[in-house]
Amino acid sequence: MEPHTQSRVLAVEPVLPAHRHEQAEIAAELAPLLTEPGPRRALLHRLHGNAGVRTRHLALPLREYADLARRPDAFDAANAVFADVGLDLAEQAVKGALASAGLAPEDVDVLLFTTVTGVAAPSLDALLVDRVGLRRDVVRWPGFGLGCVAGAAGISRLEDHLAGHPGQVGLLVSVELCSLTLQPTDTSVANLVASGLFGDGASAVVVAGPERAAGRPGWAVLDHTSRLLPGSADALGWQVGARGLRIVLSSQLPEVLHQHVGADVAAFLAGRGGSPRVDRWVVHPGGPKVLDAVADALDLAPDALATSRQVLADVGNLSSSAVLHVLARTPAQPGERVLMLGVGPGVSTETVLLERVGEPS
């Protein structure tokens, strides 16, 4: 289908908490919470140094994480912070995205909310209705569990809805406060890696159906597909316990992606008839090894994932928000095509083909 007949991303608004710290500063503060002095602590510092991250933004002041970790009700306390800080970030992102799209809160017909770092009922999207001024008949889809893939998948799901409701406006909100999942009693390599890789952030995306998008600049959603990679269910995710969310992060994840992503993306593009060009790549910044595996599988030029690597360096892996932060930083001229690739638990991938329409971004 042509871009003018497709739903369109009108605005992407990335936001970050105010507490910004250098990676070395974070490592120095967290190391005593995670390990005793000795080889394991030395390993933590090496892993933090090799994470491809220079700075991260945190939901709390850095020194408050020690107090949080020592609390007997640490999971409850962290979840309360998630609800409080997360709602503020969501409000900021939504207001910014709607302003950029030239729309009012009452224009939103459907609201998709995603997170994998906190639990709340009512979910934060319900609280946003009064906070932002959304209509009380807005259709809400709160989701938990897609994890890092949900930023790309959220755009796909809104496009699915808007294809049948071409005059409507959809809003995707992602809130990920990864620092609140810190597990101080877990000295596994996975937890040490996660403590140096993940940051906190949020984002909001405005997507309009074809009729509502007419004449507006943005990203036309040309096509999308979802995949579950075989034999990979234990490579990425959470184990849920008394102290909250414990990371599952296999060292085999890059190899899993390397084995499947190339063929999957090639099949997706071929399914559109031949091999449509891709001018820019928006890939989930899951870590240096993840980006290297994807770049190698897709046979990309050395600088093709420069924006993903820059987002990783500046803010860390923001789970579902990360790929949206990359999209927000991706410049494009009218007619240029972008392939967005999200990666999450399952292991799952979401591939979205976008084309820039209207004014340059």
Q: What's the pLDDT at 74?
A: 87
The first and second tokens of residue 312, run together, are 């990783």
- 144 close to 119: Cβ distance less than 8 angstroms: yes
Least Cα distance to 278 among 357, 342, 352 occurs for: 352
List pLDDT tens digits, range 125-177: 999 999 999 999 999 999 999 999 999 999 999 999 999 999 999 999 999 99
- Marked catalytic residue, from 98, 108, 112, 148: 148
Q: Report if pTM > 0.75.
A: yes
Which pLDDT belongs to residue 358?
A: 86
**Best CA proximity match to 106, nearest among 125, 133, 87:** 133
Catalytic residue list contains 178: no
Burial class (CB in 10 A: 0-12, 13-18, 19+), 308: buried
Peptide bond before 122: cis, by omega within 30 degrees of 0? yes
pLDDT tens profile 176-186: 999 999 998 88
CA dihedral over 184, 192, 41, 53, signed as positive or negative:
negative
What pLDDT was estimated at residue 361? 61
Beta-carbon neighbour count of residue 87 at 10 Å? 18
89: phi then psi, degrees, rounded to nearest 5: -65, -40
**Cβ neighbours of residue 64 under 8 Å, at least 6 residues apart?**
none
pLDDT at residue 282 in the model: 98
- d(Cα 174, Cα 204) in Å, to the nearest integer? 6
- R_g over Cα of the chain: 20
DSSP string, 308-357: HHHHHHHH-B-GGGHHHHHHHT----TT-EEEEEEEETTTEEEEEEEEEE
Average pLDDT per run of 10 along the chain, which is 361 residues long?
79 98 96 93 96 97 92 90 97 98 98 95 95 97 94 97 97 97 90 96 98 94 95 88 84 94 94 82 97 96 96 98 98 94 95 90 61
Amino acid 238: pLDDT: 87
Phi first, then psi, for residue 59 (nearest 5°) are -65, -30
- Cβ contacts of residue 202 below 8 Å, gap of 6+? 14, 15, 16, 86, 89, 90, 92, 93, 173, 174, 175, 176, 321
pLDDT of residue 72: 87
Alpha-carbon gap, residue 84 to 78, rounded angstroms: 10
SS3 145: coil
